[in-house]
Amino acid sequence: RFSRTFRDNPSLGKMLIVFTVSGGGLVAYSEAKADGGIHAVNPSEVDVKKKRVVVLGTGWAGTSFLKNLSNSSYDVQVISPRNFFAFTPLLPSVTCGTVEPRSIVEPIRNIVRKKNVDVHYWEAECFNIDAANKKVYCRSHLGGDVNSKEEIIVDYDYLVISVGARSNTFNIPGVAENCHFLKEIEDAQKIRRTIVDCFERASLPNLSDEERKKILHFVVVGGGPTGVEFAAELHDYVTEDLVKLYPKAKEAVKITLLEATDHILNMFDKRITAFAEEKFQRDGINLKTGAMVVNISDKEITTKEVKNGGAVSTMPYGMVVWSTGIGTRPVIMDFMKHIGQGNRRVLATDEWLRVEGCDSIYALGDCATINQRKVMEDIWAIFRKADKDNSGTLTVKEFQEVLSDICERYPQVGLYLKSRQMKSLVDLLKDSSGDAVKESIEVNLEEFKLALSQVDSQMKNLPATAQVAAQQGSYLADCFNRMEKCENNPEGPLRFRGEGRHRFRPFRYKHLGQFAPLGGEQTAAQLPGDWVSIGRSSQWLWYSVYASKLVSWRTRALVISDWGRRFIFGRDSSGI
């Protein structure tokens, strides 16, 4: 608003705009130039007593961090273009009106309001991270000016990057222009409107059967949990609600699910995959696996078969939903180039979620991953160091000591080494008779290095899920809550004392299981210990888990009443 005033009145000349925060300190100020644009010119002066923590993003990771931060010695600034938290697991339900969009969002100001910590929220988007000078550059698009040049510069002592990811189009021609994505609340609302529009268009007079079929052909690209859940939800919406209102559409409507690999729900147990594929077949959902999308025009999708000599075929469509995975946000790509991670897909962190090669910057959620290769190199260095006489061997006793040290420092890898009972590792620890471990036996480190490289290739990155993001957020908040105490007492807890050790335990992910809703009140659940349950009972488990995980009592009450409304009255078909 200020900048526009100056732009319209150049005679006002050069003036300063000051952004203040409560507590009296200046955070950042920008200078209005006579040419109209506002250019950031100077760093800030801030309340020196409090450390400034800047959090980028109000998604799962950022919100979990904010909810769990309880130490009042920080001055926290939250920057995100979205002033609310969205419960993404229920987004597919929003696309078909099972749940209303408002029911799954909570204003971020509501979430941080009760805290004893100073938290300030700014609705803006970060476009540049200057790690060398500890500043982030942001732009606000409020007022609808997407070309706004108003910049906000924010200084930080600690930066928490949790900006998530964007939908990945793999640069396939036509995807960005012609597909719907399912990532944000607005995407789900747009899909809901488009579904109803398609049914209305197909009901207009003077349409041929062929045109009607084309309009009512809904294509979902991507057989992961989101694509599968959306296809299932759409099938329920059509069969339970829409065909009652559009009886002529019954014969023409078709749902196709395209997947490039041989099966859908690859990350789930094979029993779940098989059940889902059979159910979709029974429901009449056209499942096309091994089909890679190569082009999407405004009327047709072109696919190429992965096998069978790469046969190419086209199909007309009315609506396409693209759900094939996630890609890196531009601000993160630029940042990675600056810090020498340009060849990576996501930001690499260590096991304490600190961005590699940066000072006081943490990254969590979908925009980051723990660098397993680096962890392996560190572990190897620990083994080498334990080999004091440089003989290339360790006794089993020494070896086991190092291993328990690793389990403490690198729990993810340590547990893997222990629990998987890797054949090569076990072989190394056995004597020639094949069972009892003898302390005098020597372990050849070169052989062990080979075993480690196997772990490296077998240990997968943590999945890009809300579960990981939320656990990382609360882990980091816990570290921040104890940071001051640890700085005053740098020795740290006894177990973590010692050269090169960090004062906090590394992040350890606890997998609580995952769901795949398959429609018709049936859900597949894969719980810890590879316990699989499929059917109506899992659907009730799904209802209870998601109701309990909702961020507030308000959203919980709204979602439960939406579910009740759907049971009694069906889904709304107005598309608004």
Binding region for ligand FAD (CB under 6 A): 56-62, 79-82, 88-89, 91-92, 125-126, 162-164, 182-183, 226, 329, 331, 365-367, 464-467, 469
Q: Are 36 and 11 in contact (CB under 8 A)?
A: no
SS (H, E, C) 192-210: HHHHHHHHHHHCCCCCCHH
DSSP 8-state assignment for residue 467: H
Instruction: Let me know the angle formed at the C-alpha of 321 by 299 and 94, rounded to the nearest 5 degrees.
Output: 135
- Separation CA 95–CA 214 (nearest Å): 20
Residue 125 C-beta: closest distance to ligand FAD, Å: 4
Looking at the Cβ atoms of 71 and 88, the one nearer to ligand FAD is: 88
Residue 64 C-beta: closest distance to ligand FAD, Å: 8
Which regions of 216-299 does DSSP assign to beta strands (E)? 217-221, 254-259, 286-289, 291-296
Looking at the Cβ atoms of 32 and 165, the one nearer to ligand FAD is: 165
- Separation CA 450–CA 312 (nearest Å): 43
Residue 346 C-beta: closest distance to ligand FAD, Å: 10
Q: What six digits make up the tokens of 451? A: 């075993």
SS (H, E, C) 208-235: CHHHHHHHCEEEEECCCHHHHHHHHHHH
Q: Are 369 and 461 in contact (CB under 8 A)?
A: yes
Judged by DSSP in three states, 452 sits in: helix
Residue 62 C-beta: closest distance to ligand FAD, Å: 6
* HSE toward the beta carbon, residue 266, CA cutoff 13 A: 13
Residue 140 C-beta: closest distance to ligand FAD, Å: 11
Looking at the Cβ atoms of 495 and 508, the one nearer to ligand FAD is: 508
Q: Which residue carries 């952004």 as its tokens? A: 19
Q: Which residue is nearest to ligand FAD (CB)?
A: 59
Bridge partners, residue 474, by sequence = none
Residue 476 C-beta: closest distance to ligand FAD, Å: 12
- Separation CA 167–CA 319 (nearest Å): 17
- Separation CA 236–CA 571 (nearest Å): 10
Q: What six digits make up the tokens of 87? A: 């419960």
Looking at the Cβ atoms of 232 and 466, the one nearer to ligand FAD is: 466
Residue 231 C-beta: closest distance to ligand FAD, Å: 12
* HSE toward the beta carbon, residue 215, CA cutoff 13 A: 19
Looking at the Cβ atoms of 297 and 474, the one nearer to ligand FAD is: 474
* HSE toward the beta carbon, residue 465, CA cutoff 13 A: 18
Looking at the Cβ atoms of 399 and 515, the one nearer to ligand FAD is: 515
Residue 330 C-beta: closest distance to ligand FAD, Å: 8
Looking at the Cβ atoms of 162 and 273, the one nearer to ligand FAD is: 162
Residue 229 C-beta: closest distance to ligand FAD, Å: 7
Looking at the Cβ atoms of 136 and 403, the one nearer to ligand FAD is: 136
Bridge partners, residue 197, by sequence = none
Looking at the Cβ atoms of 183 and 192, the one nearer to ligand FAD is: 183
